[in-house]
Amino acid sequence: MVAGGGILPETAVPDGATIPPMAAEPAPLLHTRVAGPGDLETLVALACRLSREAERIPAVSASFVAATTLSTRAALASPDQRIWLTESVGARPEPLATLRAELRRDPEGAPQCGFLCDVFVDERWRGRGLGAALLERAFEFLRERGATEVRLETQLGHAAAESFWESRGFHPFRTVWRRPL
């Protein structure tokens, strides 16, 4: 996990654990926990903010907000899905990263397949181990539920994301094409 801007060994940290900063570092404490229904607004706001930053656009569409709200609400209510939220600790916690893992039936017939969705890490905190720590929690959640493989989708041309996923053992296997009607 992350503390004081550096990377600590990536060992399993129990949900709800608080990681103290390294000595003499002004960085905030970070806390990762399983999100609940009361976090809906925070999760949607974080997704919107980080999507705007990633896309370099001034605002996300109303349909993006509606779809994100709907899918996040469903995920929070599902026993086959889990969302983790990493926040700074303090009087005004700031959401910094989130990841959603879900168990699905593989469309090609495999028994169980894990999917990662809504993976967001604040730009200021990238490269410090937040994404890797969230990923380990997702792997554990999915393994415990019988998943034998995990998949995700990412936008083409997002070099940093592609590098992150490849460094974690992921490889591209399918391309999704689309066109407006």
Q: Which residue has the higher pLDDT, 55 or 52?
A: 52
| Contact by Cβ (8 Å): 15, 34 | yes
| Contact by Cβ (8 Å): 118, 97 | no
Q: Based on the structure, what is the number of domains in the chain?
A: 1
CA distance 143 to 134: 14
pLDDT band per the 50, 70, 90 thresholds, residue 156:
confident
Domain for residue 177, yes or no? Answer: no
Q: What is the mean pLDDT of the chain?
A: 82
pLDDT band per the 50, 70, 90 thresholds, residue 113:
confident
For position 1, what pLDDT does the model report?
A: 42
| Contact by Cβ (8 Å): 122, 99 | no
Q: Which residue has the higher pLDDT, 108 or 121?
A: 121
pLDDT band per the 50, 70, 90 thresholds, residue 162:
confident
pLDDT tens string 131-147: 999 999 999 999 999 89
- The CATH number given to whatever domain includes residue 104 is 3.40.630.30
Measured in degrees and rounded to the nearest 5, phi and psi for residue 28 equal -75, 160
Full residue range of the structural domain in which residue 35 is found: 2-167
